[in-house]
Amino acid sequence: MNKDIILAMGPPGSRWSGVLRCLQMYHSCINTSDDSPERTYDRITTDKLKKENRYGWHRGSYFGPDHEFGINFDDIKANYTKETFLEEIKKPFANWEGVKVIKSHWFAYNIDILKEWFPDSKMIAVTYGDIYDMFAWWHLVGGWEIPYPHYGWYDNNKRMFHKIEEEAKLLHTHFDMKEGRTMPEINSLLDIDPTVRTLNQMLELDEKFAENPNHDLSLARHLESFDRVLSRVYVGVL
């Protein structure tokens, strides 16, 4: 019944990647077999005090034009059947166990057909601040120099700005977008196994929080950090 699929969407600059990575790190039931070094990106800078700063948190497969998979996801109904769509989203995963988070900016343009095909699947949407905030954050993370995922379809800054605006409007129309949600709240909305990964499992999956200057790698700090990431954005679940 495809209850093991979460269809995730957010405009460029929405900080959705961080939210989705927190979901993956938190929930032991989520499949991360699409992770690979080639599907990883963080922007690392050093300030005047030689402090290292990291922006972005891109992990695992993204689907859409100019990508490995889902190259025609800008118009799913015209280019796929439900069966061929399922075949496409399976491709980057080493196995099909557990809950799969399928990420595409272009799902925002295809919400109605996805709801029709997958009535038992959950959808999650993320936005950040207003249009200007998302446009600015995307550029801070690297903008056109981001190697992964790919943004060729957006073409130029003017089109990027207008597409961020269009995608955000679509998401706020279809979803009950709320700011300041917590991980337990999102877990309840997604209705997935609430079992939390162990600290060792989290560290093995991703060392993002190992950059903490206080070297606090406790489970409590990870859980606190997940909620802090969520507090910055608007999240909705269908």
pLDDT at position 45 is: 86
> What is d(CA 232, CA 213) in angstroms, rounded to the nearest whole number?
22
pLDDT at position 140 is: 96
Nearest CA among 235, 236, 3, 237 for reference residue 119: 3
CB contact burial 177-198 (16+ within 10 A = b; e otherwise): beeebebeebbebbebeeebbe
Low-confidence ranges of the chain (pLDDT < 70): 1, 210-215
β-pair partners for 27: 196
pLDDT at position 97 is: 97
pLDDT at position 58 is: 97
- Indicate the SS3 state at residue 95: coil
Task: State the total domains in the chain.
Answer: 1
pLDDT at position 51 is: 79
pLDDT at position 215 is: 62
pLDDT at position 46 is: 84
pLDDT at position 1 is: 67
Nearest CA among 12, 4, 6, 2 for reference residue 126: 12
Q: Which structure tokens are listed for 228?
A: 């802090």
> What is d(CA 108, CA 169) in angstroms, rounded to the nearest whole number?
9
- Indicate the SS3 state at residue 236: strand
pLDDT at position 141 is: 97
Q: Which structure tokens are listed for 212?
A: 């903490």
In terms of pTM, does the model score above 0.75? yes
pLDDT at position 209 is: 72
pLDDT tens digits, residue range 182-221? 999 999 999 999 999 999 999 899 987 766 555 677 888 8
Name the packing angle between helices 183-190 and 16-26 (round to 10°): 80
Nearest CA among 70, 96, 134, 93 for reference residue 2: 96
> What is d(CA 193, CA 2) in angstroms, rounded to the nearest whole number?
15
Domain that holds residue 80: 5-237
Q: Which run of H or of E encompasses 127?
A: strand 122-127
Say if CB 110 and CB 75 are below 8 A apart: yes
pLDDT at position 211 is: 62
Say if CB 42 and CB 55 are below 8 A apart: yes
